[in-house]
Structure 1
Amino acid sequence: MKEINVQPPSGTRDFLSKDVKKREWALNMIKQVFEVFGFAPIDTPAFERIETLTGKYGEEGEKLMFKILKRGNQAASGETDLALRYDFTVPLVRFFAKYQNQLPRPFRRYQIGPVWRADRPGKGRFREFYQCDIDVIGSSSLVADAEVILALTRSLSCLGLPGYIVRLNSRRVLTGLLEAYGIPETSRQDTLTALDKLDKIGVSGVAEELKSRGLPKLVISQISDDLSQKDMGRIRDRAVISRIGQEGLQEVDEIISLVSLLMADGRIEFSPFMARGLDYYTGPIFEIYLKGATGAIASGGRYDDLVGKFVGGQVPACGGSLGIDRILSTLEVKNPNREDGLKPQVFVTVWDRSMRPEALQIAEELRNERIITEVFLEEGKISNQIRLASNRGAKYCLFYGPDEQTKKEVTIKNLSTGEQRSVSREKIAETLQKLVQER
């Protein structure tokens, strides 16, 4: 028999129970924050029509899309007509275009679930991962951008992850800088693509990338100098040369003034060369970093032109996304109760085959009171069942044998102290509910 490779596909993961519980706890905390900020949940399919997704993400994004071959007899053609969702933003815009007459304005929504990218797997980088998205469609106010940032940073605080840094920029600032460098419009997208790789390849790597894309040496030297030095005054002076650069700096300054005093557990700073590689961004953009995490753990920005591609006319929009897998894979999220949720509070032993129905009935009564209860599934010595209950981390073990049946009682054993007591059969659920609450 040929050996089967039991490893999950590269860039994906299996999750043990404790990991699932940790993720569920974190996602629930994030949902609560999003809803406190007035965002409502929606859901969309895991895959979309290929034409819905293509032409929206830019050069790098197009390469990382998981495309789906046509099915049946058409599969041999090699043609694709569907793709797994790359993010939640473009599916949201498609959703909004379909249901816009049923949705409030502005429309505030959140969506949490898996997305897929054909990226090279690495530490904190996966091909299948969860995103926690929030967006506001229908408002051009920078208060909307501020709300997105505050909701994401509040989520980090609620997860017990202070010390974050929000790096803020505007695509208008970048356009102003590119104009100041004298870069023609035909080369600007290439330049932004190179700048977006700054954290991965460094200043020298960006310079090499710009050289390969045909930019003049003098321009590359100016950009490299500005990337290497910390004088924000000099960079701001360069950006304000153009009107669009001035507008971008005004956006940045206003958002910083709106959120800086409200982020008790972190700070926000101007990052003039942060590009965010996706083509659909038009205004303020941001990334959130946390010490110990690999790369940005959250990001987003304004995309005022994207909705118009689906509905006609400009509809302002902004949003952000929290990469929960990157957080959970590299940091210890402080949830003191997550291990307890995996352990039974009560373990019901089974005396013999004839006692199975009554054991299940007792378990049903306890579960109706939301007491986590496990029943022994096989037949075996009571001593072995007690050992299993202890190994599973149960707090109490129940015995219901012939003697208990005759007396209409159930014996309760405290597995921590060894203490045993008998209670009336009809009061077993009431008694255990009090015992569990006392611990």
Structure 2
Amino acid sequence: MAAPVNSPRGMRDFLPADKARREHALGVIRGVYRAHGFDEIETPVVEDYARLHAGLGGDNEKLSFSILKRGIKPEALAAAVEAGDPEQLADLGLRFDLTVPLARFYASHRAELPPVFRSIQIGPVWRAERPQKGRYRQFVQADIDVIGESGIIAEAELITATSQVLAELGLKDCVIRVNDRRILFGLLEHCGFAAEEQAGALITIDKLDKIGVEGVAAELAETNSGAAAAMRGILEGVDAALAAGIPVTREAIAAVLPAGAAEAGIDSLVAIGEALAGGLPEGVELRFDPTLVRGMGYYTGTIFEIAHPGSGSSVGGGGRYDGMIGRFLGQDVPAVGFSIGFERVVDLIELDGSTGPESLALVVDAEAKLEDLMALKRELVAAGNRVRIEKRQKNMKTLLARLVEEGFAKVANVQPGVSDLSELSWRELGE
């Protein structure tokens, strides 16, 4: 007996119904983002190895898949292993996100793009994850970015467009959590963490939802016990406020932060909150979360993340990364982006079958003329329908059940000699 032929571990095949669900969601995302003035681009799925490991991708760089150089000889392989230098073996790698390719794209095509460039980028990315529910080695990201705008209008546009996507997909009870990296560093400085201790401290604070306040304080104390005690007090005070939800207003933010900490970051968030007050669709809320870190080291200002009660992890996130493009261009360019976690979002949405063209099935007798059958199909397709031809079976119950499962709404029998649509008698499926 042959062994089962499974898809590669951590990667998936999609049956027609699953693919239709995904394409519906992608259509909604593209349509909303284009309506908000963003333009779609496409970048290669591979990038130079050195670019993928330039320190821009945080921990994701450790999860990247590398592509071996062509024609590499055994002695070169042995030398690279002995030297511990993988760059001797690989010159390319699969992209682990869409932000690094976008930065390279902008640096390459800046002269051909408008001063403020609003991009859509949707496509697969790869990470050597440990496969588990909601986490795969190949998955789709759906990103929008604004490059060239330093003002908070960029953040306001991103949050507005993304919140409309969530609403159009039918997701309710979404919370967009916002923070600012300047607030985080201001808190760390206020608590007494030295500059060289702050990056590690942020990594620890990012574990708050997994190890709790006690665990975070204990880990921080290994580096700086006095500062850890001060941070513990702040986190304990924030805990109850987070459960209730902290509005993005000056009063609410001031109530949970020490006086004088990171005023620039607070001013920015307050301005965003005021610009979006009352403007987000029903079912989407904007909330301040001073414990939000976002793992990527390239964020420089505003950061945001989407929480949904149906998912154990965030279903989207992003932030401002003003320093990244300068690494490629030699000149700093302001940039901010928002990425939807497509795989998690698509698992949360429901389709009612009313989207897209009507799906019709023609069940044909063996004696029906092929030219008549094709004429009928052409006319139905020209009218905007989705049409499938099925041969009549002895067990019609099985065939009809399958058509219902695949989303077909109506069926008609095509008898010999029928060549006009007016001669067809349609039957509703699923009744």
What's the TM-score once normalised by structure 2's chain length?
0.84
The structure 1 residue matched to 2:214, chosen from 169, 179, 204, is 204
Q: For each residue in 1:302-338, what CA deviation from the matched residue of structure 2 results, as whole angstroms up to 9, or x when unmatched?
A: 1111111111121111111111211222x2x243126
Q: 1:44·1:95 contact (CA, 8 Å) conserved in 2? A: yes
Query: Would you say 1:359 and 2:388 are equivalent positions?
Result: no
Displacement of 1:387 in angstroms is 4.9
- Alignment partners' CA distance in 2, 1:155 and 1:247: 30
The structure 2 residue matched to 1:292, chosen from 310, 324, 349, is 310
- Alignment partners' CA distance in 2, 1:28 and 1:340: 10
Cα separation, partners in 2 of 1:100 and 1:340, compared to 1, 3 Å: closer
Q: 1:399·1:410 contact (CA, 8 Å) conserved in 2? A: no
Cα separation, partners in 2 of 1:152 and 1:410, compared to 1, 3 Å: closer
Q: 2:319·2:336 contact (CA, 8 Å) conserved in 1? A: yes
Q: 1:169·1:284 contact (CA, 8 Å) conserved in 2? A: yes
Which residue number corresponds to residue 48 of structure 1?
A: 47
- Alignment partners' CA distance in 1, 2:57 and 2:385: 52
SS of aligned partner of 1:23: helix
The one-letter amino acid of 1:311's match is L
Displacement of 1:263 in angstroms is 1.5
Displacement of 1:58 in angstroms is 5.3
- Alignment partners' CA distance in 2, 1:68 and 1:278: 24
Displacement of 1:200 in angstroms is 3.0
Q: 1:398·1:410 contact (CA, 8 Å) conserved in 2? A: no
Query: Could you list the runs of 5+ residues in structure 2 that have no partner in the other structure?
Result: 78-85, 242-252
Percent identity (aligned) = 35
Q: 2:376·2:421 contact (CA, 8 Å) conserved in 1? A: no
- Alignment partners' CA distance in 2, 1:104 and 1:42: 14
Displacement of 1:374 in angstroms is 2.0
The Cα RMSD (Å) is: 2.8
Query: Would you say 1:412 and 2:424 are equivalent positions?
Result: yes
The one-letter amino acid of 2:385's match is I
Which residue number corresponds to residue 397 of structure 1?
A: 412
Q: 1:348·1:359 contact (CA, 8 Å) conserved in 2? A: no
The structure 2 residue matched to 1:263, chosen from 262, 277, 280, is 280
The structure 2 residue matched to 1:278, chosen from 287, 292, 296, is 296
Displacement of 1:208 in angstroms is 4.3
Which residue number corresponds to residue 249 of structure 1?
A: 266
SS of aligned partner of 1:155: helix
SS of aligned partner of 1:110: strand
Cα separation, partners in 2 of 1:347 and 1:387, compared to 1, 3 Å: farther
Which residue number corresponds to residue 248 of structure 2?
A: none
Q: For each residue in 1:215-247, what CA deviation from the matched residue of structure 2 results, as whole angstroms up to 9, or x when unmatched?
A: 122222222232222265465225x24xxx111
Q: 1:57·1:279 contact (CA, 8 Å) conserved in 2? A: yes
Displacement of 1:89 in angstroms is 1.0
Cα separation, partners in 2 of 1:74 and 1:100, compared to 1, 3 Å: farther
Query: Would you say 1:90 and 2:105 are equivalent positions?
Result: no
Which residue number corresponds to residue 26 of structure 1?
A: 25
- Alignment partners' CA distance in 2, 1:145 and 1:126: 29
- Alignment partners' CA distance in 1, 2:36 and 2:426: 44
Q: 2:143·2:338 contact (CA, 8 Å) conserved in 1? A: yes
Q: For each residue in 1:341-383, what CA deviation from the matched residue of structure 2 results, as whole angstroms up to 9, or x when unmatched?
A: 6x8413141424x834443343334323333222236xxxx56
Displacement of 1:40 in angstroms is 0.5
Give runs of aligned pairs for residues 13-412 of structure 1, distance below 5 A: 13-57=12-56, 59-74=58-73, 77=77, 79-211=89-221, 214-230=222-238, 233=254, 235-238=256-259, 240-241=260-261, 245-265=262-282, 266-329=284-347, 331=348, 333-337=349-353, 344-352=359-367, 355-376=369-390, 382=392, 384=394, 387=397, 390-391=400-401, 392-393=403-404, 395-401=410-416, 404=417, 411-412=423-424
Displacement of 1:59 in angstroms is 4.5
Cα separation, partners in 2 of 1:415 and 1:384, compared to 1, 3 Å: farther
Say how many residue pairs are matched.
400
- Alignment partners' CA distance in 2, 1:282 and 1:18: 41
Cα separation, partners in 2 of 1:163 and 1:196, compared to 1, 3 Å: same
- Alignment partners' CA distance in 1, 2:257 and 2:398: 67
SS of aligned partner of 2:258: helix
Query: Could you list the runs of 5+ residues in structure 1 that have no partner in the other structure?
Result: 418-438
Q: 1:134·1:320 contact (CA, 8 Å) conserved in 2? A: yes
Q: 2:163·2:281 contact (CA, 8 Å) conserved in 1? A: no
Displacement of 1:107 in angstroms is 0.3
SS of aligned partner of 1:72: coil
- Alignment partners' CA distance in 2, 1:195 and 1:58: 19
What's the TM-score once normalised by structure 1's chain length?
0.83
Which residue number corresponds to residue 435 of structure 1?
A: none
SS of aligned partner of 2:324: coil
The one-letter amino acid of 2:263's match is Q
Displacement over 6 Å in runs of 4+? 407-410
